């Protein structure tokens, strides 16, 4: 575990992993089960349709995790995180920020905009701010705005993926960034987690692998499509939200569209609050290029056990190779 992470984190996790926030997919149960299994759970605040529902979710997560910590003081229970869209079109921004102040999630992940207005508020209660970036310009800007961590969203990621190769991205960012570094994009198994550490990441950010968790909000149909799909079934297009993202072509066909005849969408407001985008993400399903590793629907705790086995195996075989 990297020395960059606050000391208390190292004792709270079993693997350096964040279950990435996923629109319409991450559930409060997924967050609770991830943290109980020893990896950082997160969710987009907008997955709760109203602030009343959000208040209830944040209370449940706080209460359940603190109960586990009290009942099993030796258990590694990871911190939890929320994803706040800091773009001006987020109409719930102020109300959601109030709930962040009330429940004080240890990590706040900001996306789609300038994180500076929230950095002070989160630091005041001792929380950390991680900002997701998909190019060097955004990484440089976020680094100057006082965030604690940069999430480098590389090519092949689920959702709004970047286009930069992870080796090149992390190498270039490390030239000007000395804070917590989180790598994202196609990290799908234990070997990949170790590989991201070898590249210099402090944490691996995993989305797609967890869409098929039993606790996720994804429909059984979506999960079955993930099990049947490979990276050849993905399409990288800006048609549905105005920003390029990876989608499962079979879900596009299921919605009555021809994936080979998609039109470019001009001048679209890319906020995930946007009604048409919400509809698109409901009917047209996203996944990253790591989709081929999904072979079944499993509870989060089982996925984490599998990741631990793979990680340990990868460490042993690396050591064995080096000793020869």
Ligand X SMILES: Cc1cc2nc3c(=O)[nH]c(=O)nc-3n(C[C@H](O)[C@H](O)[C@H](O)COP(=O)(O)O)c2cc1C
Residues making contact with ligand X (CB under 6 A): 20-23, 25, 44, 83, 111, 132, 153, 157-159, 184-187, 205-208, 272, 286-288, 290
Helix or strand (DSSP H, E) at 42: strand 41-44
* Encoded tokens for 164: 């930069």
Dihedral sign for Cα 288, 137, 182, 168, please: positive
**H or E segment to which residue 108 belongs:** strand 107-111
The conformation of residue 210, written as its DSSP 8-state character, comes to G
Q: How far is the CB of 80 from ligand X (least distance, A)?
A: 15
- Nearest approach, Cβ of residue 11 and ligand X (Å): 25
Measured from the CB atom, the residue of 32 and 248 that comes closer to ligand X is: 248
State whether residue 56 is helix, strand or coil. Answer: helix
What pairing do the DSSP bridges indicate for beta strands 234-237 and 80-85?
unpaired
Report the residue number, 63 or 228, with the smaller CB distance to ligand X: 228
Looking at the Cβ atoms of 37 and 183, the one nearer to ligand X is 183
Q: How far is the CB of 59 from ligand X (least distance, A)?
A: 21
Residue (33 or 132) nearer to ligand X, CB? 132
Q: Report, in Å, the least distance between residue 246 CB and ligand X.
A: 8
Residue with CB nearest ligand X?
A: 207
Select 208 or 239, whichever has its Cβ closest to ligand X: 208
For the CB of residue 89, give the shortest distance to ligand X in the complex, in Å: 14
Q: Which is nearer to ligand X, 69 or 254 (CB)?
A: 254
Helix (H/G/I), strand (E/B), else coil: 47: helix
CB of 207 to ligand X, least distance (A): 2
Q: How many CA atoms lie within 13 A of 49 on its CB side?
A: 2
DSSP state of 264: P
**Long-range CB contacts for residues 52-56, cutoff 8 Å, separation at least 24:** 54/96, 54/99, 55/99, 55/102
CA 227 to chain centre: 20
Strands 180-184 and 149-153: parallel
Q: Which is nearer to ligand X, 107 or 186 (CB)?
A: 186
- Residue 37 CB, shortest distance to ligand X, in Å, is 17
Report the chain's terminal Cα–Cα distance, integer Å.
Answer: 25
Q: What is the DSSP letter of 259?
A: G
Structure tokens at 304: 């984490």
């Amino acid at each position: 575990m990297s020395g960059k992470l606050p000391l208390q984190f190292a004792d709270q996790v079993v693997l350096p992993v964040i279950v990435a926030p996923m629109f319409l997919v991450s559930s409060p149960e997924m967050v609770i089960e991830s943290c109980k299994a020893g990896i950082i759970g997160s969710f987009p605040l907008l997955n709760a349709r109203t602030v009343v529902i959000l208040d209830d979710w944040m209370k449940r997560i706080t209460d359940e995790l603190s109960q586990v910590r009290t009942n099993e003081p030796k258990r590694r229970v990871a911190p939890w995180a929320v994803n706040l869209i800091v773009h001006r079109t987020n109409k719930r921004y102020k109300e959601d920020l109030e709930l962040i102040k009330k429940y004080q999630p240890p990590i706040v992940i900001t996306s789609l905009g300038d994180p500076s207005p929230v950095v002070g508020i989160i630091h005041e209660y001792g929380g950390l701010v991680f900002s997701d970036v998909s190019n060097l310009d955004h990484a440089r800007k976020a680094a100057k705005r006082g965030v604690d961590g940069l999430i480098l969203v590389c090519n092949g990621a689920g959702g709004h993926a970047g286009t930069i190769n992870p080796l090149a991205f992390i190498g270039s960012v490390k030239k000007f960034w000395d804070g917590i570094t989180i790598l994202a994009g196609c990290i799908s198994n234990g070997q990949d987690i170790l590989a991201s550490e070898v590249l210099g990441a402090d944490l691996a950010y995993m989305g797609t692998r967890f869409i098929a968790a039993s606790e996720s909000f994804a429909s059984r149909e979506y999960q079955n499509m993930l099990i049947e799909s490979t990276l050849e079934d993905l399409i990288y297009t800006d048609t549905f939200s105005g920003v390029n993202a990876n989608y499962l072509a079979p879900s596009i066909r299921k919605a009555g569209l021809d994936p080979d005849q998609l039109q470019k969408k001009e001048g679209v407001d890319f906020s995930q609050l946007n009604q048409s985008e919400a509809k698109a993400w409901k009917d047209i399903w996203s996944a990253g290029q790591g989709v081929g590793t999904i072979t079944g629907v499993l509870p989060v705790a089982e996925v984490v056990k599998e990741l631990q086995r793979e990680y340990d195996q990868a460490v042993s075989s690396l050591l064995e190779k080096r000793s020869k």
